[in-house]
Amino acid sequence: MASEAIRAGVVGATGYTGAELVQLLSEHPHFELSFISSRKNAGKNFSHLYPRFQDEIDQQLEHPDRLSEVDLELLFLAVPHTVSMNIVPQLDLDSTQVVDLAADYRFPSVSDFNDTYEIKHADPDNNEQAVYGLTEHNREQIAGAALVANPGCYATAALLPLVTLLKDNLVTGPFFIDAKSGISGAGRKPSATTTFVARNEDILPYKVGVHRHQAEIAAHLPATDVEPLFVPHVIPVDRGIEAALYCSPRSSVDFAQIETSLKDFCERHRLLRYRSEPAGIKAVANTPYCDITAIKGGEGRLVVFSCLDNLLKGAASQALQNANLVFGFESSTGLLRG
């Protein structure tokens, strides 16, 4: 475990997720925020773009091309998908360990990435060594990893409980995932579908059955060849995801076994909470927690609810958990009050 502050940087510091990372790193006891960049806003102070940080984080944003001029031990890439795979090959992963929040290294198979994102992967060699950063399930692989692929927000919500139940051999498919997300999940860049007028007082299903997180979820579900059906919706809240996961208990399994499995899983991990009744988005907004609940949905039916903040547990705070493990710290370091 390092005794001096670890020099950390964020590429893409002005997006919603990047800004969350900047705040978390500025308060971390072991990481020092040494470099923040934005291609569009280089030269401006971070607090100019996010006034709530005035007199707290007034650091100047650098152009990402200056990355080669700085000495960093830890780098977060909070950039659009397909950008990271052109940055990582230019880095020395022996001296700079990377947590990528884009999708570029999330798939074990490059061909799956190519099919899902309809572009040829530019860095297949590093893709082979990348570790999927689903923190609570992959702690041992993440520790000391040179390159960690942070999961997608929807994928995190779905996989945390489903991987647990599948590993314990308690459930079977088909798997239906019905998830609602706040508007920030679409990113900071405005579009016709993310304006207040378009989204207020509305709920919109989109990319049903073809959303990219469906392929990501399928790639990381163990012990099953049944591809899930994923139905995402955007709802008129700033942040948060509520996912309802439908599946079936195995014939010899009763509900008490399922509840015990999920309770034990949550008790082993500081940032997971089991609830006897489903939580709403307000229970997790602006926190690093994921709340999980199992409900018996009648004979042979099971509904598992998973609720998290898409910008934190679904992105920035999970990325920090992974960085903590990479450098030998407890995964929740810098994420809890007090």
* Sheet strands side by side (includes 31-37): 31-37, 6-11, 74-77, 97-100, 147-149, 131-132
What is the spatial order of strands in the sheet that 204-205 belongs to? 204-205, 229-234, 171-181, 241-249, 302-308, 290-296, 272-274
pLDDT of 199 > 80? The answer is no
pLDDT of 41 reads: 92
| Cis ω for the linkage preceding 174 (within 30 of 0) | yes
Say whether 68 sits in a helix, a strand or coil.
helix
Residue-wise pLDDT for 107-121, tens only, equals 999 999 999 999 999
For residue 191, how far is the Cα from the chain centroid?
23
Q: Catalytic: which of 153, 247, 266, 307?
A: 153
| Amino acid occupying residue 162 | L
Q: Into which CATH architecture does domain 154-311 fall?
A: 2-Layer Sandwich (3.30)
What is the pLDDT at residue 1? Answer: 39
User: Whose CA is closest to 319, among 152, 164, 72, 122?
Assistant: 152
Dmax over CA atoms of the chain, in Å, equals: 62
**pLDDT for the residue numbered 194:** 72
Question: pTM for the whole thing?
Answer: 0.94
Of 3.40.190.10, 3.40.50.720, 3.40.50.150, 3.80.30.10, the CATH number of 6-150+314-326 is 3.40.50.720
Say whether pLDDT at 338 is over 70: no
φ and ψ at residue 274, rounded to 5 degrees: -90, 135
Reply yes or no on whether the pLDDT at 210 is more than 90: no
pLDDT at 17 (0 to 100): 96
pLDDT band at 2 (very low <50, low <70, confident <90, very high): very low
> If residue 318 lies in a helix (H) or strand (E), which one and from where to where?
helix 317-326
Give the per-residue pLDDT at 206: 87
**pLDDT for the residue 4:** 85
Provide the token pair at 307.
């609720």
Provide the token pair at 25.
């790193």
Q: What percent of the chain has pLDDT over 70?
A: 96
Q: Which residue has the tokens 């006897």?
A: 276
Q: What is the mean predicted confidence (pLDDT) over 197-214?
A: 85
pLDDT tens by residue, 132-179: 999 999 999 999 999 999 999 999 999 999 999 999 999 998 999 999
Given a cut of 60, is residue 3 above it in pLDDT?
Answer: no
Backbone angles phi, psi at 14, to 5 degrees: -105, -5
* pLDDT band per the 50, 70, 90 thresholds, residue 19: very high
Q: Could you tell me which residues come within 8 angstroms of residue 320 by beta carbon, excluding any fewer than 6 positions away?
A: 21, 24, 25, 28, 334, 335
What residue has token string 């899930």? Answer: 228
Q: Matching CATH topology for 6-150+314-326 and 154-311?
A: no
pLDDT tens digits for range 62-102: 999 999 999 999 999 999 999 999 999 999 999 999 999 99
Question: What mean pLDDT comes out for the span 273-294?
Answer: 96
Q: Is 247 a catalytic residue?
A: no
- What's the whole-number average pLDDT of the chain? 93
pLDDT in tens, 228-249: 999 999 999 999 999 999 999 9
Where do the structural domains in the chain lie, given as residue ranges? 6-150+314-326, 154-311
